[in-house]
Amino acid sequence: MSTSPGPEKRSTHRETGERRRSRERALELCYEAESKGVTPLELLSDLPVQPESYAARIVTGVSRHQREIDALVSAHASGWALDRMPGVDRALLRVGVYELAYEPDVPVAVVIDEAVELAKDYSTEDSGRFVNGVLASVAAEKRGEGRDAT
């Protein structure tokens, strides 16, 4: 069980599906790993109970491809240095960029919509728009779509 306080959820008004819960768990784990100064993969391997398989797949992918993912986030987050972003936004963008770049079967609109909803639940008032813009730009580069996905 995670001991880090992690991001606090703002609302619980939506029913969630399995993938949504997996994305939410992946966000929590990526955030916790960074706050503890370990890689997401190290954190995952130390958990007494493993998360859902899709959450584990996302966290593993983010850890293995973090350098490339961070480069994409930095390139598409105009005017924002990666280390100056809120930690929740950074973790959420890593999860979203991982899915856009390495999970081609997940539709672009689903990745962006889910990330925007998580940003609204866990981060600042402006985070939804910010996350939408960055992920739409990454989607346009990686998949040739996404600017008008949401």
Residue 64 and residue 120 in contact, taking contact as beta carbons nearer than 8 Å: no
96: which residues sit within 8 A by CB, 6+ positions away? 111, 112, 114, 115, 131, 134, 135, 138
What is the per-residue pLDDT for 148?
46
**Domain containing 110 — which CATH number?**
1.10.940.10
In a domain, 13, yes or no: no
Structure confidence at residue 11 (pLDDT): 40
Q: Which domain holds residue 22?
A: 18-143
**Residues of the chain where predicted confidence (pLDDT) is lower than 50:** 1-5, 9-16, 148-150
**CA-to-CA distance for 6 and 32, rounded, in angstroms?**
6
Whether residue 148 is contained in a domain is answered as no
Instruction: Specify if 42 maps to a domain.
Output: yes
Separation of CA 80 from chain center: 17
Query: What is the total count of domains within the chain?
Result: 1
For Cα atoms 18, 136, 62, give the angle at the middle one, nearest 5 degrees: 55
Q: What is the DSSP annotation of 91-104?
A: HHHHHHHHHHHH-T
Q: Report if residue 7 sits inside a domain.
A: no
Residues 9-40 have pLDDT tens digits of 444 334 348 999 999 999 999 999 999 999 99
Residue 29 forms part of a structural domain: yes
Determine, yes or no, domain membership for 12.
no
pLDDT at position 12: 39
Q: What is the pTM of this model?
A: 0.85
**Residue 138 forms part of a structural domain:** yes
Is residue 3, in this structure, part of any structural domain at all?
Answer: no
pLDDT for res 49: 94
